[in-house]
Amino acid sequence: MPATEPSYIILLAGNFELGSCHDVRMNGAVVFDLGGVLARVARNWAEAGTKIGLNLDSDRATAPLSLDPVLHAFQAAETTEAEYHAQLAEWLDTPAEAAPQIHGAILIYEYDGALDLVTELRAAGVRTASLSNTNEPHWQILLDPAFHPAIAALDVPLASHRLQAAKPDPRAYIRTEEEVGTTSITFFDDTGINIPPAQARGWQAFHVPAVDNPIPWIRAKLVEVGHLR
């Protein structure tokens, strides 16, 4: 009888090779917030207004965007875009037609070195993801490699409005674990209140400092914990 031909099973999982499943279990994942971590964004409405020539100097305009209740509700998918724009105009006491422009001015640029960092992590077998409080108009720009190549290169880009839960809501962290496929997560976020819920899940969480470019600081932490050399 002729020798039996060996049989092979080829497993495909999205864009990931077979080795990636092993890597997720063994190496865990690195999850990034986006604004203030991989990308430069306006820190308050006043800064966004200045970008488009509007002078917004109220207490609401100068408070951190990460704590803004109107923006937070939109990013948690609790309001529609039209409702949000109407609320934002009232909140900032600006004409209704200015609200979409002010909102669009939040995004500025991706930090130098961010793409190299993500590329090195992936080459090291570490799965990369985001957990960002954001919204659909910004999300389309953030995922565009022409504007934000590092973010577009992430294995699992996750956003609050699509998870229907915004940090620091514990549901956002639980759903991230489900999407990334591991609970072994190293997390970087520039907003302090988002760190304790991550730690409560057992994540290794780092509060990113407000500096001109945090990428070198993040890289040093990744070397410290053994994800990079």
The Cα 30–Cα 19 span in angstroms is 17
Residues 160 and 215 in one domain: yes
Residues 175 and 200 in one domain: yes
In a domain? residue 1: no
The pLDDT score that the predictor gives to residue 6 is 38
By residue range, what is the domain housing residue 141?
18-39+110-224
The pLDDT score that the predictor gives to residue 24 is 54
In a domain? residue 33: yes
Residues 59 and 132 in one domain: no
As a whole-number percent, the residues of the chain with pLDDT over 70 amount to 89
Residues 97-153: pLDDT tens digits? 999 999 999 999 999 999 999 999 999 999 999 999 999 999 999 999 999 999 999
* pTM of the predicted protein model: 0.87
Residues 34 and 143 in one domain: yes
Give the CA distances from residue 195 to residues 33, 58, 109, 113, in Å, rounded to whole numbers and listed in that order: 11, 28, 24, 24
The pLDDT score that the predictor gives to residue 52 is 96
The contacts of residue 192 (CB under 8 Å, 6+ apart) are 207
The pLDDT score that the predictor gives to residue 26 is 56
Instruction: Give me the chain's average pLDDT, please.
Output: 90
Residues 31 and 141 in one domain: yes
Residues 120 and 86 in one domain: no
> Which of 25-34, 52-61, 180-189 is predicted with the least confidence, judged by mean pLDDT?
25-34
Residues 128 and 212 in one domain: yes
Number of domains in the chain: 2
The pLDDT score that the predictor gives to residue 157 is 98
Residues 142 and 125 in one domain: yes
Tell me the residue length of the chain. Answer: 229
The pLDDT score that the predictor gives to residue 4 is 40
Residues 203 and 116 in one domain: yes
List beta partners, residue 210: none
Last residue of a domain, one of 54, 83, 104: 104
Residues 29 and 49 in one domain: no
